[in-house]
Structures are given as structure tokens and as C-alpha cells.
Structure 1
Amino acid sequence: MPYDAPRPPSAGPGAAFFDVDNTLMRGASIYHFARGLASRDLFTTRDLLRFAWGQTVFRVTGAEQPDHINAAREAALAFVAGHDVGDLVALCEEIYDDSMADRIWEGTRRLVQRHLDAGQPVWLVTATPVELAQIIRRRLGLTGALGTEAESVDGVYTGRLNGDLMHGPAKAVAVRALARREGWDLAACSAYSDSSNDLPLLSLVGHPHAVNPDGDLRRYARTHQWPVHDFRRHRKALKVAVPAAVAGAVAGGVAVRAVRHRRRA
């Protein structure tokens, strides 16, 4: 369905919540981050392969089975454990500027701006690490960000999570708590996502929107007469966007290793 610009939201006791991957940004932000780390020699090829596989299973299947969730959790934690929080945040800033800033969907950026112009808070709600989500928030001038939180002690990541992955039902729980704290009326709030995994969040607010939706979300949105915004030009290419991102991440890691090997030789 082509993009049909909605009327600007009226200012009121509500907020807008945006998913990041494939909603605000083309592709998966965590893959771009992983590739950036690989190019800076912070991954071995084995780490990258393990991470890519765990995230692929999690994102492509969209499954809620505990073994898939755990695989994604372990892969995400493996590459931050033992690293200094400040160092990784600084790298996040570099990687965003180098390879993520130009991946923001202009159409979604316009949707965000409508809410900001109407005086409404705009929050990111994403499974990506909260440190990366906060950088995106600052770069785009948004209000706040909820993301997956990795535990740290004395400024070093432990390899454990604070709470659960910010995914599926966890997003709805977090947004409900945030709305209660801020005094927002959820019926006056809006939410935007590309994934049927986010139906708990989308169903929580009074104004749900499907952005670049997967097949299940598109069907659900049409059935329930939700607005659908599709900013993609090449549907066939986007059907394999996640596997392609994995291939790119793995290829990046292999290339780094190959360069190292040639230098040693």
C-alpha cells in the first residue's frame, strides 16, 4: 500500500513509540553495529558467526520459543562481555555516523517529525542495545529510548542482561509502565512497527501504525483498518534483507581475518 500521510496528531496527553529495525532504519541496527565492531578488530570470525546465527534464528523466525530467545540472548551478550562500557558507547557513535545515519527511512522520519511538531514525546522501543538506541535518539532529537540493557559492573559489561530482551510482549510491558509514570493516556498514544512480533505494543495504543510491514502484520493491519506506510521500493530485495545482513556481517568478519592473515604472512 502506498504511503498516505496521516493528519498531524493533535497535541494531547499521549506519546509516539517507534520500533527501530526496518521501521525507522533500513535493516537491523545490531548487524550494522556488529560489522562496525568487526572492522575495528573487536570480533573474531567465530564470534561473528555465532552472533549472526543466533540473531538470524531470532529475527527471521520471529519465534517465541525459549531456545530461540536464549540463543539470541547468549549471542548478544557474548560480544560485549568484558568490554568497557565507555569504549563501546564511543564506538557506537562512530559506527552510527559511518554506516547507519544514511539508513534512516525518510518517510518514517517525517512521521516522527509530525509528532514532534505536535508537541508529543517520541520514544524508541527496540530490542537493540539501549546504548545504541540512545545514540539514535540523540542524533534524531527524540525524547527517549527503551532498549535491551546489558549489565555492567564498574563500567565493564558482565555478559548478563538487566531484565529481558526488549522484544514482543516485553515492549508492551515497558511502554505501559512508562505511560503510567509519565501520565500518558495510552488511548491517545501512537505506535509504529514493521513486525507482527510487536502486536502486543501496537494493540496497546489507540493509534497503531504498520510501517514496512511483514506479511502477518500487513494482513492484521488491513483487517483492523490500521494505517499502513510502506517506504520500500524493491519488495523482492527486502524479503531477504535479514539474511543479506547476516551475509554482510559474516563477510566483513572474514575479510578482516583475511587481511590480518595476509599482513602476518
Structure 2
Amino acid sequence: MNLAIFDLDNTLISGDSEAEWPRFMQKRGLLPQSHLDQSEVYYQQYLAGTLDLKAALDHQLAHLADFSRTELEQLHAEYMVERILPIIPGKARALLAAHRAQGDLVLIITATNRFLTAPIARELGVEHLIAIELAEDADGNFTGRAEGVLSFREGKIERLHAWLAERGERLADYRQTFFYSDSKNDLPLLSVVSHPVAVDPDPVLLEHAEAHGWPVISLRD
């Protein structure tokens, strides 16, 4: 069996789910413009490869504690319709379907939190997801903090190995391992799979992919 791993933001979707959420919330009057402005600063730092993820998470997640899980799930359903479904390319769905048709195990691994990304993974028909985990209080509401190893840069490798170990597996147990990503931040994980693929890559990843003979593809419709 093969393992096909996918980044989510700007790879399987033609946008960033973490960036779209505060825009959605601000439009609804549930976040101030100042929060959105700072979110955009962190997003540009992510694109530049200079992001302090813990600082960004402290900012991005704090407001989740102001809402119950029921309220957040209702908001997320609207967010999916307004912000996410329009940016899921048909080519991404087709690539996922092709891997499933070959009997490959499909996994999404993302540096965005599980609250935002789990419904997107379900929409894409992907059962397995590694994402940033969120702490919960005794009532199951979010505290506004992340917990555990962050699935970002080298953290994606650590989380992947831990996930495989829970299944009683290793990366080497798979005949072929694919990882599809757009970002230079994913160079660590791209470098350990047998089939790295650059998807609509940023300039740094594009240069690296071309220098190493990695496939470069586009999933944009």
C-alpha cells in the first residue's frame, strides 16, 4: 500500500483556511478589525517563512473561548459554505479520488487547527487528519490554547511518526510515500517521503523542487 499525504491550505484548497476564518468572523461583526489586521500580519509572516507559530496561535485562538462549541459549529457551517466550498478545486478532488482508487491511504497534515480543518477534510472525503489540537475545558469548550506537538515544519514529521506508531506502522512500511505541498515550510517533510510533489509552490519551494527534480503540479481549476 502507498501513503498519500497532503497539505491543506493553498494545496488542496486555493486559499488559507486559517486566514479565511477571521475574515469571516469580522464580516459577521464577531471580531474587531484590529484582530483581522494582526491576523494578516501573521499570515504574511507565514508566507515569508518567518512565523512564530506560538505567538500567532495565541492571537488566532483566543477568541474561540468566547463561544460555545454549539455556536462555533453553527458558525463553521456558514464559513464552509461562504469561504471554503468556493475554493476547493475540482482538480484537488480528482487527485484525492485517484489515490483512493489505487487503494492508497490518504492523510491530510496541516498547521491549521482541527476545529477549522476537520470539516474540510470530511468534505474532501479524507478520513485521516493530523492538525493542531485545541485544549478544551471540562464542558468541552475551547480554552483558546493549542496543546501537544504543533504540526508545523519539523513538527509535521514528529506528528506523522507518532500517528503511524499508533497504527503499529512506520513510514518505511509503505511501498511509496507521497507528500503534496505548496510551501517552503514543508520542506522538512517533503524531504523524507519517497515522492515529494510541489503544488502551486511558493518561489522558494519551486526553486528547491526544480533543483532536486521533484514534480511540480497545479491543482487550480
Same fold (TM over 0.5): yes
* 1:81 to 2:65 alignment: yes
Count of aligned residue pairs for this structure pair: 217
Any runs of at least 4 consecutive aligned residues in structure 1 with deviations exceeding 4 A, and if so which? none
Partner of 1:252: none
The CA deviation string for residues 10-58 of structure 1, in whole angstroms up to 9 with x for no partner, is: xx1x32111111111112111222222222222122222233323332x
* Amino acid paired to 1:208: P
8 Å CA contact retained: 1:73, 1:165: no
Matched residue, 2:23: 35
Q: Which of the residues 227, 237, 262 maps onto 2:215? A: 227
Question: 1:95 aligned to 2:108?
Answer: no
CA contact (8 A) 2:11 2:219 kept: no
CA distance in structure 1 between the aligned counterparts of 2:149 and 2:26, rounded to whole angstroms: 26
Matched, 1:146 2:106: no
Give the Cα–Cα distance (whole angstroms) in 2 for the partners of residues 190 and 54 of structure 1: 29
CA distance in 1, matches of 2:47, 2:33: 21
- TM-score under structure 1 length normalisation: 0.75
Structure 2 gaps, min length 5: none
Asked whether 1:21 is paired with 2:6, we answer no
Letter in 2 for 1:111: L
Larger radius of gyration: 1
AA matched with 2:70 = G
Residues in 2 aligned to 1:41 and 1:217: alpha-carbon distance in whole angstroms:
37
Query: What are the superposed Cα offsets for residues 180-209 of structure 1, whole Å, 9 maximum, x if unpaired?
Result: 333252552211000111011112211111
Cα shift at 1:73: 2.0
- CA shift, 1:230, in A, is 2.4
Confirm or deny: 8 A CA contact 1:187 1:207 kept in the other structure: no
Bigger Cα displacement from structure 2, 199-208 vs 37-46: 37-46
CA deviations over 1:82-121 (Å, ceiling 9, x no partner): 3222321332122112221121122232221111111222
Q: Does 1:170 align with 2:155?
A: yes
Given the alignment, which residue of 172, 176, 185 partners 1:197? 185
Please, what TM-score do these two structures have when normalized by structure 2? 0.89
Give RMSD over aligned pairs. Answer: 2.0
Partner of 2:107: 123
Asked whether the 8 Å contact 1:187–1:205 carries over to 2, the reply is no
Q: What is the one-letter code of the residue matched to 2:128?
A: G
Residues 1:55 and 2:72 are matched in the alignment: no
Q: 2:200 matched to which residue of 1?
A: 212
Give the Cα–Cα distance (whole angstroms) in 1 for the partners of residues 193 and 74 of structure 2.
35
CA gap 1:69/1:141 in 2 versus in 1, 3 angstroms: closer
Residue pair 2:14, 2:89 contacting (<8 A) in 1 also: yes
Normalized per residue, the structure richer in strand is: 2
Q: 2:22·2:36 contact (CA, 8 Å) conserved in 1?
A: yes
Q: Which amino acid aligns with 2:50?
A: A
**Long gaps (5+) in structure 1:** 1-11, 234-265
